[in-house]
A and B are shown apart, each in its own frame.
Chain A
Amino acid sequence: MKITVLVATTFLVGLHLQAQDTCADALPIGPGLHTVTAINGTENTPINCAEVFGTGVSSAAEWYTYTATADTNIFISTDLSGFPSIDTRVQVYTGTCGNLSCLDGDDDGGSGTTSYIVFAVETGTTYTIAFDNRWTSNGFTFELGMIEGPPPALELISFTGYNSGLTGTSRAVVDMNNDGLDDIVGVSATNVHILQQLEGGGFTSVNIPTTQADNTPSWSLAAGDIDGNGYNDLLYGGGQGATFMMANDEGTGFTEVSFPEYIFSQRTNMVDLNNDGHLDAFVCHDVDANVSFMNDGTGNLTFGQGGFGLTCGNYGSVFVDYDNDGDVDCFVAKCGCDPADLLMRNNGDGTFTDVAPLLGFADNHQSWSSAWGDYDNDGDMDVLIGSSSSGYHKLMGNNGDGTFTNITVGSGVDLFTGQSIEWTTHDFDNNGYLDIFGGGAMLMNNGDMTFSMDNTVPANGSVGDLNDDGFLDVVNGATVMYNDGNDNNWIKVITTGTVSNRNGIGARVMITSAMGTQIRDVKSGDGFRYMSSLTTHFGIGTDNAIETVEIHWPSGNVDIVENPSINTTIEVVETVTTAVAERNNDVLNLYPVPATDQLTVSGKLPANSPVRIVDATGRMVLMGVLTGNTLDVSSLPNGVYLLEVELADGPVKRSFVKQ
Chain B
Amino acid sequence: MKKFILFLFTLAIVLIACRKEDFSEVSTATFDEADRLVLDVNEFPYEHLSTYRFFKGPMVNQLPVVGVLPYAPITPLFTDYAHKHRFVWMPAGVKAQVNGDGHVLDFPDGAVLLKTFYYDRVLPADEQRIIETRMLYKRNGQWAFANYVWNAEQTEATLDLNGSITPVTFIDDNGTQRSINYRIPAEAECFTCHKQNDLNTPIGPKPQSLNAPYNYANGAKNQMIKWVEEGYLASGYAKNIRTTVRWDDPSADLSERARSYIDMNCAHCHRENSHCDYRPMRFAYEETLDPVNLGECVPPDDPIAPSQTHIVARGNPGRSMLYYRITTNEESERMPLLGRTIVHEEGVQLINEWISSLSPPCN
**Is the pair A238, B331 in contact by a Cβ cutoff of 8 Å?**
yes
Is there contact, CB below 8 Å, between A54 and B277? Answer: no
Q: How far apart are the CA atoms of A56 and B323 in the complex, in Å? A: 12
CB <8 Å contact, B162 and A113? no
Q: Which of A21-29, A331-339, A507-515, A561-569 has 4 or more CB atoms under 8 Å from chain B?
A: A331-339
Residues 159 to 191 of chain B near chain A (Cβ within 8 Å): 162-163, 165, 183, 186, 188-189, 191
For residue A293, which residues in chain B have a CB less than 8 angstroms away from its CB? none
Are the CB atoms of B332 and A239 closer together than 8 Å?
Answer: yes
Q: Is B316 an interface residue, CB under 8 A from the partner?
A: yes
B47: chain A residues within 8 A (beta carbon): none
Query: What residues on A are CB-neighbors of B338 within 8 Å?
Result: 239
- Chain A residues with Cβ below 8 Å from B316 are 87, 135-136
Q: Which A residues are CB-close (under 8 A) to B332?
A: 218-219, 239, 529
The complex places the Cα of A286 from the Cα of B337 at a distance, in Å, of 12
Most buried by B among A108, A214, A287: A287
CB of A126 within 8 Å of the partner chain: no
Task: Give B303's nearest chain A residue, CB to CB.
Answer: A440
Q: Which residues does chain A contribute within 8 Å of B278, judged by CB atoms? A: 335-336, 339, 366, 388-390
Residue pair A420, B302 in contact (C-beta under 8 Å): yes
B309: contacting residue among A113, A336, A389, CB under 8 A? A113
Q: Identify which of B192, B302, B318 contacts A388 (C-beta below 8 A).
A: B302
Does A11 make an interface contact (CB < 8 A)?
Answer: no
A68 to B56, CA, bound (A): 84
Report how many residues on chain B are interfacial, defined by Cβ distance under 8 Å: 34
Nearest B residue to A418, CB-CB = B302
Whole-angstrom CA separation of A325 from B163 in the bound complex: 41
- B277–A336 CB distance below 8 A: yes
- The residues in A between 505 and 539 inclusive whose CB is less than 8 angstroms from any CB of B are 529
Which residues does chain B contribute within 8 Å of A214, judged by CB atoms? Answer: 165
A292 to B330, CA, bound (A): 26
Q: Is B319 an interface residue, CB under 8 A from the partner?
A: yes
- A287 in contact with B188 (CB, 8 Å): yes
A51 to B165, CA, bound (A): 37
A524 vs chain B, min Cβ distance (A): 19
Q: Smallest distance from the beta carbon of A232 to chain B beta carbons, Å?
A: 22
The docked-state distance in angstroms from the alpha carbon of A218 to that of B331 is 6
From the candidates A52, A287, A529, name the one contacting B189 in the complex (CB within 8 A). A287
Contacts of A162 in B (CB 8 A): none
**Does B279 lie at the interface of the complex (its beta carbon under 8 Å from any beta carbon of A)?**
yes
B34 at the interface (CB under 8 A from A): no
Closest to A266 in B: B332
Total chain A interface residues with beta-carbon distance under 8 A: 44
B-side contacts of A108, CB under 8 Å: 306-307
CB distance from B186 to the nearest CB of A (A): 4
Name the A residues within 8 Å of B183 (CB-CB): 240
0/1 per residue, B33-49, Cβ < 8 Å to A?
Answer: 00000000000000000
How far, in Å, is A238 (CB) from chain B's closest CB? 7
Interface: B127 (CB within 8 A)? no
Q: Does A260 contact B (CB under 8 A)?
A: yes
A135 pairs with B188, CB closer than 8 A: no
Given A53-B308, A264-B192, A339-B278, check contact A218 B319 (CB 8 Å): no
User: Which B residue's beta carbon lies closest to that of A260?
Assistant: B162
Q: How far is the CA of A529 from the CA of B277 in the complex (A)?
A: 22
A91 at the interface (CB under 8 A from B): no
A239→B339 CA distance, assembly (Å): 12
CB distance from B252 to the nearest CB of A (A): 28
B131 to chain A, nearest CB (A): 16
Is the C-beta of A419 less than 8 angstroms from some C-beta in chain B? yes
Is residue B27 contacting chain A, with contact meaning CB distance below 8 A?
no
Check B189–A264 contact: CB distance below 8 A: yes
Chain A residues with CB under 8 A of B305: 52-54, 459
A216 CB–B CB distance under 8 Å: yes
Task: Kindly list chain B residues whose C-beta atoms are within 8 Å of the C-beta of A440.
Answer: 306
B203 contacts partner chain A, Cβ-Cβ < 8 Å: no
0/1 per residue, A214-255, Cβ < 8 Å to B?
101011000000000000000000111000000000000000
A83 at interface by CB-CB < 8 Å: no
- Known interface pairs A87-B319, A262-B163. Does A287 touch B191 (Cβ–Cβ under 8 Å)? yes
A421 within 8 A of B: yes
Cβ of A410: which chain B residues have Cβ within 8 Å of it? Answer: none
Cα A85 to Cα B305 in complex, Å, equals 20
Mind listing 17 A-B residue pairs with CB under 8 Å?
A: A51-B306, A54-B305, A54-B318, A55-B328, A85-B363, A112-B363, A113-B309, A216-B331, A238-B331, A239-B332, A240-B189, A261-B162, A262-B163, A336-B276, A336-B278, A337-B198, A337-B275
Given A287-B192, A287-B275, 11 new contacts (CB under 8 A): A51-B306, A54-B305, A108-B307, A113-B309, A169-B330, A218-B331, A287-B189, A336-B275, A389-B301, A390-B278, A419-B301
Residues of chain B whose beta carbon lies under 8 Å from any beta carbon of chain A: 162-163, 165, 183, 186, 188-189, 191-192, 198, 275-280, 301-302, 305-309, 316, 318-319, 324, 328, 330-332, 337-338, 363
